[in-house]
Structure 1
Amino acid sequence: MIKDFGLLLIKARKSAGYTQEQASELLDISVRTLAKYEANQIKPTIDKMNDIVEIYGNEYIGYQYLLTFRLGQKLFAPIENKSFSETVLSFIANIKKSNKCIDDLIEIGADGKIDKKEQPKYKQILNTFRLMTKDILILKFCKNKKAEPFNKQSSI
């Protein structure tokens, strides 16, 4: 989970090219409210966060917002700091692993249940797919594919 969500909001706003005054007007909130969001004094509502994502053109900030909640932490994986090329190679390696996983999954699921002896293999399959999902998210949120990963860039 992001430790300083307010700082992330500031970077996203600046990356979108807005001052606090401009952003607050577009978001239909006071400058004071936006300043409180950016200072981590209050959290935007889910509806206001949706507006922020749309106005700033930044889905990554929405993903990180969800990770500020316990439920979001249970459902979504934090995204690691990896370069674009490292992520592409990781994703390709996991795609290659997934071919065997698919065969194993067919074998495990053929009888409609997961036996105790099949559980370790099933967990490995799920882990491979989880790693692929994380790589997909990193690729999705990478703004400049030739540059550093999203969380090393000055813009988000």
Structure 2
Amino acid sequence: MGYYPTKAASNIYCQCRKAAAEYNDRLNSREGAAELLNMSVSTLSDYELGITKAIPVESVVRMADLYNAPELRNHYCTHDCPIGRTDVAPVKLDELDRLVMELQGCMKCAGIDRENLLEIAADGKIDDSERPQLQQILQNLDAISEGANSLKLWVQKNLGGSDT
């Protein structure tokens, strides 16, 4: 197999392996990657070509660790896991400055609504006139959560590890 697969080029598992090959030449080939992942070349090929529809979670974890690609875990949770598809938000891995700017914008929006949230919650009830404001606050909190998760993913990828 050549160094630049065409059929699997748009597959996230292949993209992450190829990106990791910049730091580990053995990952340039499926053969080298499969050996390091302790799986057969045909299994890895099936993952990268999208032939295997339900990739075992332990394989995704091994690839994410070997490739230094925590985004694979999020991709698995948001696309392949039956629970995650409905409960986990996809996060994007972007440049640090872009992630921080987006997160700051979300925080500013949510900060504007902070007083409104306190007013809404003061009596312990949500009346019909407060519902639209509360919905907007929840959307802002979702945006902050997405921004925080994107920043966390960037830190894991670039500073090495989830406990940083």
Residue equivalent to 1:12? 16
Q: Give the whole-Å Cα distance in 2 for the aligned partners of 1:47 and 1:140.
A: 21
Corresponding residue number in structure 2 for 1:110: 122
What corresponds to 1:147 in structure 2? none
Counterpart for residue 73 of structure 2: 62
CA distance in 2, matches of 1:95, 1:137: 14
When structure 1 is superposed on structure 2, of 39-48 and 5-14 the one drifting more is: 5-14
The percentage of aligned residue pairs carrying the same residue is 28
Correspondent of 2:64 among 53, 66, 82 = 53
Computed over aligned residues only, the root mean square deviation of the Cα atoms, in angstroms, reads: 2.7
Aligned to 1:38: 48
Aligned residue for 2:111, secondary structure, equals helix
Q: Per the alignment, in what secondary structure is the counterpart of residue 34 of structure 2?
A: helix
Larger of the two Rg values belongs to structure? 2
CA positional deviation for 1:138:
3.7
Residue pairs, 1:48-127, within 5 angstroms = 48-69=59-80, 70-79=82-91, 85-127=97-139
* Distance in 1 (alpha carbons) for counterparts of 2:138 and 2:110: 10
* 1:58 positional shift: 0.8
Structure 2 unaligned runs (5+)? Answer: 1-7, 22-26, 159-164
Question: What secondary structure does 1:68 align onto?
Answer: helix
Partners of 1:132 and 1:26 in 2: how far apart? 37
Give the conservation status (yes or no) of the 8 Å contact 2:74–2:91. no
Normalised to the residue count of structure 2, the TM-score between the two structures is 0.71
Corresponding pairs, count: 141
For 2:44, the aligned partner's letter is: L
TM-score normalized with structure 1 length? 0.74
- Could you tell me which residue of structure 1 aligns to residue 162 of structure 2? none
- Structure 1 contact 6–39 (Cα < 8 Å) conserved: no
* Greater RCO (Cα-Cα under 8 Å, separation 6 or more): 1
